[in-house]
Structures are given as C-alpha cells and as structure tokens.
Amino acid sequence: MLREILIYISAFIGLFATTFYFLSYYERRKDKEPEFPKNAPRVTIIIPAYNEEKGIAGSINSALDIDYPKELLEVIVVDDGSKDRTFEIASQFKSKRVRVFKMPKNSGKGAAMNFAISKARGEVIVTMDADNTIVQKDALKKMVAYFNDSKVMCVAPAMAIYNPKGVLQRVQQIEYLFGVFLRKAFSSMNAVHITPGAFSAYKKVFFEKYGGFSVNNLTEDLEMALRIQSHHFVIENSIGSVVYTVAPNKFWKLLKQRRRWYVGLLRNLWEYKRLFSKNYGPLGTIVLPVAISTVFISIALSLYIMVQTLIQIKKELFLMQGINFSLNYLELNWFMFERYFFMVLSKPMFLFAFLFISFLIGYMVFAKRKIKQYSSVRISIIFFLAFFSFLFAFWWIMSVVYTIFNKKVAWR
C-alpha cells in the first residue's frame, strides 16, 4: 500500500511537472535564436586542468577550432599543479592566442578558474573541461548572441555524450538527451539552475561585481548558476550549441562523479535555500521543489522496493521449497499471457509507466532533431529503462548519506 501511495504521488508530481515544462517551452517555441552581434565581444576560453595529459590536447584543439573571429578569441590553460605531463603538453600550444599558466600548487578548480579570469582579456568568459570536450564549431557564436540581452549573465549549451560504448555510457547518453529538452524548457521560464562545467559562457562583469567561482566547492559551476539566479539575472540555453563530453565508462568512476555532483547540489541548495520562494518565480515554486521531492520520493521508493524484494525472494524460496525447486509450476499458454496483460493494464501505475516511457521517447525525438548522435539511441533506451532508476536511487542514497554525515567527498 505504501509503495502504491509513493508511486502515485510521484506519478502526479511527474505529470504536473512535465506538463508545466512542456507548456513553458511551447509558449516560447517560436522565439527566434538571437543574431550574432556586429560588435562581437572578446571571448576568453579558460581550461583548468589537473592530471589531464590524455585529454588536454584534444580540448585545446577543439577550442582553437571553434568558429569565432580569431582576433577576438583567446584560450587560457591553467595547470592546477598536475603531477603528469599536462603542463608540458599544453605548453606546446603556446601562442598569441593560447596562454598557459601553472599554479604553484594544487588549489582546486575554482581557484584555477579565478586565476584565469584575473588574466583574461575577454568580456565573455567560457569555462571548458580539459578531458576531451568536443565543441561544435558554431556553438560559441550562437551562445554569445544571447548576451545581447543585458539581463543574461550566463549561457549554457546542449550537452551530449560523445560516441557512447557499453551499458553505462549508453545509459548516460539517454540521460543527457533527456536533459536537452529539460534545460530548454527551464530556460524558457528562467529556471536553469545547473550549468555544465564542460562548456558554459559567462559575462565577465558578473565575476567583477559578485566574485569569482567558489573555491573548495564540489560543484563550483552549480554554485555560480544559483548565485546568478539569486541576483535575479538570466541564464539562457542555446539549444543549437552542441557540446560533446566523454562519459565515465566504469561503475566506480561514474559513482564518484555522481556523488560529487549530488552532494555538491545538496550542499549548494542548502546554502541557497532562499531560492525556494515565489520571489524566484517558477524556479523557486516549481522547478526546485519538484527536483528535491523527486529525489526523496525516489530514495524512499527504492529503499521500500529493496526491502519488499528481499521479502518476496524469501517468500519465493519458501514456495519453491515445497516443489523441490522444480520449474513445473510455470505454465506457458495463452491464458497465462492474457492474465499477465490484464494484470498490467488494470493497474494505474503501469498505465502511468507507459505514459512516462512515451514522454521519454518524445524527449528523445526532440533531442535527436537538435543533436547528432554517434551511437544508436534505440539500444541505449533499452539500457536506460532497465538500469537508470536503480543507478539513480543508488547515487542519491549514497549522496544523501554523505551529506547528512558531512563526509568528505574527493574530486576524484
């Protein structure tokens, strides 16, 4: 009974949120993408790097390949005390357009970026990850165009996974595609609260007036997004600007990444709890409350299902013992299938599950139209449906435990 109640509450919240996000997007669907300004601003792409000898060259090349007036674009690489050949490799790219610095000791991503901002000549600062981030050539021009609006302090791109292989990367591929629609819907109501550290653009004046990135923060990019929102500025989403990132392909690497993200999210949301207010429009009254309630309902439901599954396994063993674990109790005939379909279709929770899978497919179709995919989405959807909810619950349970007990979370 408790499981059913939680599922139906979750289903209603999901239905309401999805409908609201869709209506918000629909209202602004005909908004034209802004035009690239005649007096284009100078842009500084900053690439903080720590032990990224494998990916740094690819990221610098991607930055230099971006279609933007060359005289207005510079790249600053900051080696944050790497112990490998990151600085040596980056230094090979030194030129008029590429400057490379080395921090005296490892000081954290926030400190490295703030150092780069202090050296930047650009009016627009773009943060970029050092581990093989691939930026679509026209992405930056489209993003910069949004800064024509004086209220816009940050522009986020559409993120996708580059060439996913294996189950874990394919699950993340769908998760990121899901995010393409959501981020656009959020931006239509100025409710973007997470900007990807892999590639986001900021107006330098915001840093000058409100300070640089938070140092020693697990998710300094998220903190910056919340800070921008807290000052009632706008974060836009340039859905036509596509940035590909390489996703973790090992379970423990992925777990560490998500633990950092989610613990960072919880800690930063606590710092900015004043955002949960009608003063911040849909962000404060709908988007953030829905996000938090979804997390906690998912955790409660997962724990409940885990316990129920163990009880069910115990019961099955008890039953199977009576027939010496023979498989003869299975009766495969038309009646069995008929009963199975009836059981599924006669329970509202399964009907809602079909509905949400349809929404998911809708998001995929939307995202696929906007973003080139390097790997089949159909196979990835199957992996996503099979594994994501368990992974999601596991990551969040771990993150909540870390947050409650204030445990230290390492970057890597």
Using rule CB under 8 A, residue 189 touches other proteins: yes
Q: How far apart are CA 250 and CA 148, in angstroms?
A: 42
Q: How far apart are CA 304 and CA 2, in angstroms?
A: 8
Looking at the Cβ atoms of 19 and 277, the one nearer to other proteins is: 19
* Binding residue count for other proteins, defined by CB under 8 A: 38
Using rule CB under 8 A, residue 333 touches other proteins: yes
- Binding residue for other proteins, selected from 83, 346, 404, 408, defined by CB under 8 A: 346
Using rule CB under 8 A, residue 208 touches other proteins: no
Looking at the Cβ atoms of 134 and 185, the one nearer to other proteins is: 185
Contact 115, 220 (CB under 8 A): no
Task: Name 332's Cβ contacts closer than 8 Å, sequence gap at least 6.
Answer: none
Looking at the Cβ atoms of 210 and 356, the one nearer to other proteins is: 356
Which span (22-30, 141-149, 193-201, 304-312) binds other proteins, by CB under 8 A? 22-30
Using rule CB under 8 A, residue 2 touches other proteins: no
Q: How far is the CB of 156 from other proteins (least distance, A)?
A: 21
DSSP per-residue string spanning 231-264: TT-EEEEEEEEEEEEPPP-SHHHHHHHHHHHHHH
Neighbouring C-beta atoms of residue 176, cutoff 10 Å? 20
Q: How far is the CB of 326 from other proteins (least distance, A)?
A: 6
Tokens of 274: 């004043």
Query: Shortest CA distance to 267 belongs to which of 406, 397, 410, 109?
Result: 406
Using rule CB under 8 A, residue 31 touches other proteins: no
Using rule CB under 8 A, residue 6 touches other proteins: no
- Binding residue for other proteins, selected from 36, 162, 210, 352, defined by CB under 8 A: 352
- Positive/negative CA dihedral, 266, 268, 274, 280: negative
x/- letters, 230..269, toward other proteins (CB under 8 A): ----------------------------------------
The H-or-E segment that residue 94 falls in is none
Looking at the Cβ atoms of 16 and 374, the one nearer to other proteins is: 16
Task: Name 116's Cβ contacts closer than 8 Å, sequence gap at least 6.
Answer: 44, 46, 48, 76, 78, 101
Helix axes 348-370, 377-404, angle to 10 degrees: 110
Query: Within 281-320, which residues bind other proteins (CB under 8 A)?
Result: 281-282, 285-286, 315, 318-319
Which span (222-230, 258-266, 277-285, 292-300) binds other proteins, by CB under 8 A? 277-285
Q: How far apart are CA 258 and CA 270, in angstroms?
A: 18
Which class for 318: exposed (0-12), middle (13-18), buried (19 or more C-beta within 10 A)? exposed
Contact 138, 243 (CB under 8 A): no
77 bridge partner residues: 47, 100
Looking at the Cβ atoms of 125 and 301, the one nearer to other proteins is: 301
- Binding residue for other proteins, selected from 7, 10, 11, 103, defined by CB under 8 A: 11
Using rule CB under 8 A, residue 20 touches other proteins: yes
Q: Write out the residues near other proteins by the rule CB under 8 A.
A: 11-12, 15-16, 19-20, 23-24, 27, 189, 281-282, 285-286, 315, 318-319, 322-324, 326, 328-331, 333, 335, 338-339, 342-343, 345-348, 351-352, 355
